[in-house]
Amino acid sequence: MHKVTWFINVLAINGRKYSVGYCHYGKGVAFVTKDKLKPYFVNDVLIQPEIEGHMPAMCSDGIFCKNKKCPLSRGQARHDFSEIEKKLELLGLINKANGKKWIFDKPLIEITVARDKK
């Protein structure tokens, strides 16, 4: 099993709070959610190694993973979270990624995303 460290309410996108799950297997942000319960249910990921000639390596949460860099991510919406990861690193949070939950009263990272005009 590989731990997931949660930074709860650390991120604001267009003013909305999000929690970020850092996966220790993929060594990057795998989950970004505004669901308040997800950080309490996804605590670790189970990696099944490849069975040569029969089954590829798989991750128990690979279908939900959004980490574009992880080879086991099977999520539909995969993203490059390098900007968020750099900001977490600058704040010293990546070094504190230890499989626990870090709860923030207000976001430390703010991102504004331009919305498409129709």
How many domains does the chain contain in total? Answer: 1
- Tell me phi and psi for residue 82, to 5 degrees: -60, -35
Q: What is the mean pLDDT of residues 57-82?
A: 87
- pTM value is 0.86
> 73 in a domain, yes or no?
yes
Residue 114 in this model has a pLDDT that exceeds 80 = no
Quote the domain boundaries for residue 30.
2-111
| pLDDT computed for residue 53 by the predictor | 78
> 116 in a domain, yes or no?
no
3-44 tens-digit pLDDT: 999 999 999 999 999 999 999 999 999 999 999 989 988 888
> 118 in a domain, yes or no?
no
Q: By C-alpha distance, which of 15, 12, 2 is closest to 84?
A: 12
User: Cα–Cα distances in Å, from 59 out to 63, 84, 89, 94?
Assistant: 8, 23, 25, 22
